[in-house]
Amino acid sequence: MVKDSKRTVPTGRFAPTPSGEMHAGNLLCALLAYLSVKSKGGRFLVRIEDLDTDRCPRSSADKIIGVLNELGLTSDEPVIWQSGRASVYREKENELGRKTRVYPCFCTRAQLHAAEAPRLSDGGVIYSGACRRLTSQQIAEMSKSRRPCYRVEVPDTEIVFTDLLAGETVQNLKRQCGDFILRRSDGVYAYQFAVAVDDGESGVTEVVRGNDLLSSTPRQIWLMRLLGYTPPAYYHIPLVCDGDGRKLSKSEGDSAARLVGTYPRERVLGYLAYCAGIIESNRAASLEELIDCFSWEKVRRGKILLDKHLLI
Ligand code: GLU
């Protein structure tokens, strides 16, 4: 359970998945998360979301931390590594199982993606609930040939929240999301669950991240409430694109490591802050200066364009 003293301190975090390099847009997200919480006098945490250790090599995580440190976006507490927290997730999974139904699911990919499966807007499928009512005998039988994943049964409830950038967001968990996975069949905990637990355990009061995660937020809020945590405030930032309005990639040209490796720290900070709308001219700026002048009102609401040519 979160201690009250922790929640009184504004707490923000940046939580990259080190499955590859960071691009400049990820770096901008880290900067906004940092400035937002520091401008409130709070603390900033870095959490490495390396649940899937096969996809997330330590070297990528070290590189990300190196880039953040290079810009001064350092964690106020030891970096949290999700790969080392399985025992916490296990404990919380048990707690959740006492409050709602968590059940094994043996469905294959083909069964899940059957033609009649209702689709989500992001192309995923809404789980049919086929394994929801298996008897213990059926479970024992099916376990002989297949390792199940574990899902949580969601209620027919609307989760409503006001994102501080995207506005009011409503999602019916049953109709628009469905019973979702807490733990994969290989034992790896799912992103949604680990994020809810870690944001709750760290006393996070605000989350700044990309708009692509807006539709994940109702699930996380619901899990946090069930586990007795107070959900944070959310700022889902608009898509960050290159100068031509194309989605950024992690290619050499857009990589955050290249940026910090090529230009002085304050030049990179000023460039990112200018592109986001925080300062009015494209110049060098210190972190202290940006903390002083930061306000969400200044941050662009439409696409944020990171035009590399501004650095030449
Ligand atoms: N690890 C996620 C990502 O890199 C972000 C998680 C979050 O901020 O909640 O996309």
pLDDT digits (tens, 9 = 90+) for 151-187: 999 999 999 999 999 999 999 999 999 999 999 999 9
**pLDDT surpassing 80 at residue 29:** yes
Q: 138: how many CB neighbours lie within 10 A of its CB?
A: 13
Is the predicted pLDDT of residue 6 greater than 60, yes or no? no
Nearest residue to 176 via CA among 122, 114, 230? 122
139 Cα–ligand 1 center, Å: 33
Report which ligand 1 atom has the smallest distance to the Cα of 14: 8
* Among candidate residues 53, 61, 49, 50, the one with its CA nearest the CA of residue 22: 61
Tokens of residue 235, six digits: 């700022």
pLDDT at 290 (0 to 100): 98
Which residue ranges have their beta carbon within 6 Å of ligand 1? 15-17, 49, 195, 209, 213
Query: What own/partner pairs with CB < 8 Å and gap ≥ 24 does 301-304 have?
Result: 301/165, 301/238, 302/238, 303/238, 303/239, 303/240, 303/241, 303/245, 304/25, 304/28, 304/237, 304/238, 304/239, 304/240, 304/241, 304/275, 304/276, 304/277
Q: Would you mind telling me the total number of residues written for the chain in this entry? A: 312
Cβ atoms of 210 and 237 closer than 8 Å? yes
Single-letter amino acid code for the residue at 167: G
Confidence of residue 113 (pLDDT cuts 50, 70, 90): confident
* pLDDT at position 2 over 50: no
Residue 123, number of CB atoms within 10 A of its CB: 6
**Four-residue CA torsion sign, 166, 210, 150, 95:** negative
Contacts of 140 (CB under 8 A, 6+ apart): none
| Distance (Å) from CA 13 to ligand 1 centroid | 10
Percent of the chain whose predicted confidence (pLDDT) is above 90: 85
Pocket probe for ligand 1: among 14, 49, 211, the residue whose CB has the most ligand atoms within 8 Å is 49
DSSP label at residue 245: S
Mutation to probe ligand 1, out of 27, 44, 195 (largest number of atoms < 8 A from CB): 195
What would the mean pLDDT of 195-219 be, rounded to a whole number?
97
Half-sphere exposure of 130 (CA within 13 A, CB side): 14
| pLDDT: which is higher, 253 or 108 | 108
Average pLDDT over residues 288-293: 98
Does the predicted TM-score (pTM) go above 0.85? yes
Torsion of CA 122, 124, 128, 132, to 10 degrees: -110
50, pLDDT greater than 90: yes
Q: Which amino acid makes up residue 130?
A: A
Whole-number pLDDT of residue 251: 66
Question: 53: Cβ–Cβ under 8 A, 6 or more apart, which residues?
Answer: 83
Question: What integer best gives the mean pLDDT of the chain?
Answer: 94
Nearest residue (by CA) to ligand 1, atom 6, is: 15
* Residue to substitute in 83, 191, 212, 248 for testing ligand 1 pocket (most ligand atoms within 8 angstroms of CB): 191
Q: What pLDDT is attached to residue 124?
A: 78
The alpha carbon of 213 and the centre of ligand 1 are apart by a number of angstroms equal to 8
Q: For residue 224, give the H/E element and its range.
A: helix 217-226
- CA–centroid distance, 46 to ligand 1, in Å, is 11
As a whole number of angstroms, the longest Cα–Cα distance in the chain is 68
Per-residue pLDDT tens digits for 114-146: 767 777 767 778 999 999 999 999 999 999 999
Helix/strand/coil percent split, the chain, to 5:
40, 20, 40
Residue 253's pLDDT is what? 65
- Whole-number pLDDT of residue 252: 60
Calpha distance 74→80 (Å, rounded): 12
What confidence score (pLDDT) does residue 123 get? 72
Give the integer Cα–Cα distance in Å for 139 and 234.
Answer: 39
Structure tokens at 210: 């990309």
